[in-house]
Amino acid sequence: MYKKFLNLGLQPLANSYLQKNNLKKKEKNFKLEIGIDMQTLLVSIKNTVPKQKMFNDKYPYNSSASKTMKKSFFDLAQKIKKNYKHNYLLEIGSNDGAFLKNFNKKNIVGVEPCKNLAVITKKLKYKTYPNYWNCNLARKITKLNKADIIYSANTLSHIKNLNEIFKAIKLALSDDGILILEDPSLLECLKKVAYDQFYCEHIYVFSTIALRNILKKFSLEIFHIENLSTHGGSNRYYIKRSQSKKNKVKSSVKKEILKELNFGINKFRTYKDFENKVKKSKKKLLNLLKQIKNKNFNIIGYGATAKSCTVLNYCKIDSKIIDYFYDTTKDKINKYLPGSKILVKKYQKLNYKKYNYVFLGAWNFKSEIFKKEKSYINKGGRFITHIPYPKII
Ligand code: TMP
Strand 108-111 to 128-129 pairing:
parallel
pLDDT at res. 65: 84
pLDDT higher than threshold 90 for residue 317:
yes
pLDDT higher than threshold 90 for residue 55:
yes
pLDDT higher than threshold 90 for residue 85:
no
Name the residue of 189, 365, 369 whose CB sits within 8 Å of the most ligand 1 atoms, as the mutation to test its pocket: 365
CA of 303 to the centre of ligand 1 (A): 5
For residue 65 and ligand 1, the question of a CB distance below 6 A is answered with: yes
For residue 303 and ligand 1, the question of a CB distance below 6 A is answered with: yes
For residue 369 and ligand 1, the question of a CB distance below 6 A is answered with: yes
**Nearest atom of ligand 1 to the alpha carbon of 327:** 15
Output b/e per residue, 301-327; b: 16+ Cβ within 10 A.
bbbbbbbbbbbbbbbebeeebbebbbb
For residue 273 and ligand 1, the question of a CB distance below 6 A is answered with: no
C-alpha to C-alpha distance for 166 and 66, rounded to whole angstroms:
29
Determine the average pLDDT of the residues in 52-57.
92
pLDDT at res. 129: 98
For residue 328 and ligand 1, the question of a CB distance below 6 A is answered with: yes
Query: Cα 194 from chain centroid?
Result: 12
Determine the average pLDDT of the residues in 24-43.
96
CA of 304 to the centre of ligand 1 (A): 7
pLDDT higher than threshold 90 for residue 60:
no
pLDDT at res. 66: 85
C-alpha to C-alpha distance for 240 and 223, rounded to whole angstroms:
7
Question: What distances in angstroms separate CA 197 from CA 25, 125, 170, 215, 268, one per listed residue?
Answer: 27, 34, 28, 22, 19
At 389, is the secondary structure helix, strand, or coil? coil
Question: What distances in angstroms separate CA 74 from CA 39, 80, 94, 100, one per listed residue?
Answer: 37, 10, 14, 9
Helix (H) or strand (E) holding 294: helix 268-294
pLDDT at res. 243: 97
**Nearest atom of ligand 1 to the alpha carbon of 302:** 15
C-alpha to C-alpha distance for 308 and 199, rounded to whole angstroms:
10
144 within 8 A of 159, measured Cβ to Cβ: no
pTM (predicted TM-score): 0.96
Q: What is the mean pLDDT of the chain?
A: 96
pLDDT digits (tens, 9 = 90+) for 147-157: 999 999 999 99
Question: What distances in angstroms separate CA 53 from CA 45, 114, 195, 300, one per listed residue?
Answer: 16, 11, 23, 29
CA of 142 to the centre of ligand 1 (A): 34
Strand 220-228 to 204-205 pairing:
unpaired
pLDDT higher than threshold 90 for residue 196:
yes
User: What would the DSSP string read from start to end of 47-110?
Assistant: S---HHHHSSTT----GGG-HHHHHHHHHHHHHHHHH---S-EEEES-TTSTTGGGS-GGGEEE
Query: Cα 189 from chain centroid?
Result: 11
Strand 173-184 to 234-241 pairing:
antiparallel
On the CB side of 302, CA atoms within 13 Å amount to 28
Confidence of residue 62 (pLDDT cuts 50, 70, 90): confident
pLDDT digits (tens, 9 = 90+) for 203-216: 999 999 999 999 99
**Nearest atom of ligand 1 to the alpha carbon of 60:** 10
Determine the average pLDDT of the residues in 353-372.
95
CA of 328 to the centre of ligand 1 (A): 7
pLDDT higher than threshold 90 for residue 166:
yes
Question: What distances in angstroms separate CA 95 from CA 75, 128, 305, one per listed residue?
Answer: 18, 10, 16
pLDDT higher than threshold 90 for residue 202:
yes
Helix (H) or strand (E) holding 124: none
pLDDT at res. 230: 95
CA of 93 to the centre of ligand 1 (A): 18
pLDDT at res. 255: 98
281 within 8 A of 338, measured Cβ to Cβ: no
User: What would the DSSP string read from start to end of 40-58?
Assistant: TTEEEESS---HHHHSSTT
For residue 347 and ligand 1, the question of a CB distance below 6 A is answered with: yes
Q: What is the length of the chain?
A: 393
CB atoms within 10 A of CB 393: 10
C-alpha to C-alpha distance for 331 and 16, rounded to whole angstroms:
11
For residue 305 and ligand 1, the question of a CB distance below 6 A is answered with: yes
Q: Whose CA is nearest to atom 3 of ligand 1?
A: 305
For residue 327 and ligand 1, the question of a CB distance below 6 A is answered with: yes
pLDDT at res. 365: 93
Determine the average pLDDT of the residues in 7-30.
95
Q: Whose CA is nearest to atom 15 of ligand 1?
A: 327
278 within 8 A of 6, measured Cβ to Cβ: yes
**Nearest atom of ligand 1 to the alpha carbon of 65:** 11
pLDDT at res. 135: 98
Q: Whose CA is nearest to atom 21 of ligand 1?
A: 303
Confidence of residue 233 (pLDDT cuts 50, 70, 90): very high
At 175, is the secondary structure helix, strand, or coil? strand
pLDDT higher than threshold 90 for residue 61:
no
Determine the average pLDDT of the residues in 288-296.
97
Determine the average pLDDT of the residues in 164-177.
98
Phi and psi, residue 383, nearest 5°: -100, 150
